[in-house]
Amino acid sequence: ASARAKLEEVWSKEKADVRAALLATLATSLSSNDEPFLERALGDRSVNVKGVAEDLLARLPHSAFVARMIERAASVVQKAPAAVSMWEKVKSGFGTQALKLLVEPPAGEGSGARARALVQLVAAVPLSYWRSHFDARPEQLFDAARATDWSDPLIEGWTTAAVRQHDATWAQMLLERAAKSLTSEAKLSLVRALPPEAVMQHLRGAAPDEWPIGAMLEQLPMPWPRDFAADWLRRLQRAAA
């Protein structure tokens, strides 16, 4: 609270880049008490300041901002009406039909602007919303997204949300299913949401040219398990040979 009070004192006197940097410091002890100030920052004339405010408010699951994003998401991403062919029923053993999504991104000038708006919207929504609203597991939602014309912004938004919310289940799923399309930076951010055991599992089969191996190893607590350390020693010896 004292940090926020000091920030409010100098807020109007600082330049945009300084305001954005100062606002970001609230992340270290973010609480619902910061919400009113962050809501005001959403109206800042600087795009960077607005972006920081949105990022911080999205980390407060019970904030008014998140509630607004959930309401918008409900109108933007919907479950497609049930229409299952006999062939689909046969393939699924007459069980539950595959989830299908209808996606109508927020309005914008051009598909690029609409895609960016969709990423920001999806990233601000709690991941628990998607599971409860669609009664679907993360992998089912991922597969349904892949079948739409807006799969990339949906997956990018979920990736940002998994990192923000430190959700290991979503992070694991995205690393398994979207690894080829993720940047090294995105992979590392998702890895940080995983427990050490899951990180080690990824590292056992990780290709050096596809994964940020060194940075991933740095995420593991020391000392490493004996079998894992021995495996990496052998890999280093083979690489040096």
Q: What is the length of the chain? A: 241
Contacts 24+ apart (CB under 8 A), 129-137: 129/70, 129/73, 130/158, 133/74, 134/79, 134/99, 136/99
Question: Under DSSP, is residue 20 helix (H, G, I), strand (E, B) or coil?
Answer: helix
Host H or E run for residue 202: helix 196-204
Could you read off the pLDDT of 90-135 as tens digits, one per residue? 444 444 456 888 898 887 777 899 999 999 999 999 999 999 999 9
Cα separations (Å) of 167 from 7, 69, 161, 170, 182? Answer: 30, 19, 8, 6, 17
What is the mean pLDDT of the segment spanning 125-152? 94
Could you read off the pLDDT of 41-62 as tens digits, one per residue? 999 999 999 999 999 999 999 9
Residues 178 and 133: their CA atoms lie apart, in Å, by 23
